[in-house]
Amino acid sequence: MLIGREREIELLRGYHRSNESELVAVYGRRRVGKTYLIRETFADDFFFYYTGVIGASKSEQLDRFSKALAIYGKTYPGEIESWMQAFDLLADLVSDSKSRAKKIIFFDEIPWLDNPKSKFLMAFDYFWNSFASARNDVLFIVCGSATSWITRKLFRNRGGLHNRVTGKIHLRPFDLYECEAYLKAKGITLSRYDIIEAYMIFGGVPYYLRYFERNYSLSGNVDNIVFEEGAPLKEEFNDLYASLFRHSELYTEVVAALSRKMRGMTRDELIASTGFSNGGTLTKILEDLELSGFIRKYLAFPNKVNGALYQLVDSFSLFHFSFIQKARPTDNRYWTNLRDTPRLNAWRGYAFELACLRHIEQIRRGLGIDGVLISISSWRSRHSDAGAQIDLVLERGDNVINLCEMKFSRHEYIIDKDYEKNLRNKLAVFARESNTRKTLHLTMVTTYGLKQNAHSGIVSSQITMDALFAR
């Protein structure tokens, strides 16, 4: 059951139809459906398929490779001792084929094959440059969840694989439209309010949504999937980071620090919070987390070079620190029994903002400015006592700036006297500190719209959650 992914499917089929050999990298967050996409697109009709084994040694990986070769008709009587030898055997398998059809070779979880001192990358480089690229009948697809490895070892390669990747497909989590379509295809009926809350928890990751059952409400499903004894995602956070990063405890320490300051931290603030030194290790951790989609690095409006902020944007990681880590092990109905509390409401407000940040194109269409050139940024006052911050600033090419406020509510959102005063203060501080001469439009993004009253006139434009579900 493939939901969405039309563009990615067409790209894969285009590489398959190509008149030359192609080296294609499919990458993205773990559990996002990369392997499923490839296998479904080609109906498992591979010339050769091999998947790396997490944590396996070089000899163990090569033993599995030898067994895979045997499945596809190439037996080797002895033990494969090196990756160079393994790729030579794969080249023999291709050369021995009488078929003129494109031969799809699929290496899944390729980062797990690159053990220290294994010389895997050198052998892969030699195979592609000396053999496969000289033919016109090889479609070599590599796939991996360790996006940082894919980026550094393939896309930024300065050796023989420099500029050799002919196709890049970054598979992202579902958007709200795809989440709704996926749940409907499973026979699950939820309101859009509940689908957004599910998205705020699971981040549109298809693997997480597959555990939803039609006989349960949203809260019942969350308890079944996360909180009850033996729940399939109870240990997902630790498994997720351990599968992607060596010394994963260093990465989770940084993520934990960012979870405590949801609006983001500067590098200096992170150093003070974690005790890390200001060196290459922290730089690599931050880049790895950013490449893998767990955090974002952003510059405050008007996009100055200095003062970058790092912000946790992975929904499930945020949910883990906000609730899973703090839940009592025996409370199987934790989410069902949870009542509105300041902590829950704070999480909902921030998680909804993250959901909106992943649907900026839908927000643009909802505002009718999808054809206008825009620059996207965030902003916070240079003066902490001003208490002013705007998480989504749309600077438009028509001399207008939309300052977007995002509010998650069960009903129409009510702007009262105090909040109107707060909004006017934000507008004033933004205008003063940015020195902009552009027209400022205050935009509200809410679930059910605004309650019209004496204070709502400050808002120039608004869109509701339905706009976020647009295709």
Tokens at 378, concatenated: 């965030």
Is the pLDDT confidence value at 124 over 90? yes
Identify whether 260 is part of a domain. Answer: no
Could you tell me if residue 210 is inside a domain?
no
pLDDT at 233 over 90: yes
Q: What is the mean pLDDT of residues 46-57?
A: 95
Tell me what pLDDT residue 303 has. 60
> What CATH number did the domain enclosing 411 receive?
3.40.1350.10
Cα distance from N-terminal residue to C-terminal residue, the chain: 19
- Read off the pLDDT of each residue in 353-378 and give the average, rounded to a whole number: 94
- H helix or E strand, kind and range, residue 106: strand 103-108
**Percent with pLDDT over 90 in the chain:** 83
* Phi–psi pair at 122, nearest 5 degrees: -60, -45
Looking at residue 385, what is its pLDDT? 64
3-class SS of residue 230: coil
In a domain, 48, yes or no: yes
User: Are the C-beta atoms of 318 and 259 separated by less than 8 Å?
Assistant: yes
Q: Find the mean pLDDT for residues 229-246.
A: 93
The structure's pTM equals 0.92
Answer yes or no: are the C-beta atoms of 248 and 240 closer than 8 Å.
no
In this structure, is residue 89 part of a structural domain?
A: yes
In a domain? residue 217: no
Report the C-alpha gap between 424 and 83 in whole angstroms: 64
The vertex-364 CA angle with 358 and 368, nearest 5°, equals 160
* Residue 292 belongs to a domain: no
Give the domain range for residue 47: 6-170
For residue 275, what pLDDT band results from cuts at 50, 70 and 90? very high
Which residues, 6+ apart, have CB-to-CB distance to 349 below 8 Å? 407, 408
The answer to whether position 98 is within a domain reads yes
Q: What is the pLDDT of residues 161-186, one digit of tens each?
A: 999 999 999 999 999 999 999 999 99
**In the listed set 152, 170, 188, which residue is the last one of a domain according to the structure?**
170
CATH code of the domain containing 64: 3.40.50.300
Mean pLDDT, residues 447-463: 97
Structure tokens at 350: 């921030």
- Whether 329 has a pLDDT exceeding 70, the answer reads no
Q: Which pLDDT score is estimated for 34?
A: 96
Query: Is 71 part of a structural domain of the chain?
Result: yes
Reported confidence tier of residue 386, pLDDT bands at 50, 70, 90: low
pLDDT in tens, 245-261: 989 999 999 999 999 99
- Counted domains in the chain: 2
What mean pLDDT is reported for the chain? 93
pLDDT the model gives residue 447: 97
Q: What is the model's pLDDT at position 391?
A: 86
d(CA 434, CA 411): 34
User: Which residue among 151, 170, 189 closes a domain?
Assistant: 170
Q: Is the pLDDT of residue 305 over 60?
A: no
Whose tokens are 């999480």? That residue is 347
CA distances from 91 to 86, 128, 251, 286 (A): 9, 10, 39, 38
Residue 339 has pLDDT above 90, yes or no: no
Instruction: Kindly write down the DSSP assignment for every residue of 275-333, as one continuous string.
Output: ---SSHHHHHHHHHHHHTTSEEEE-BTTT-SS--EEEE--HHHHHHHHTGGGS-TT-TT
Domain-terminating residue out of 136, 152, 170: 170
| Cα(79)–Cα(59) distance, integer angstroms | 9
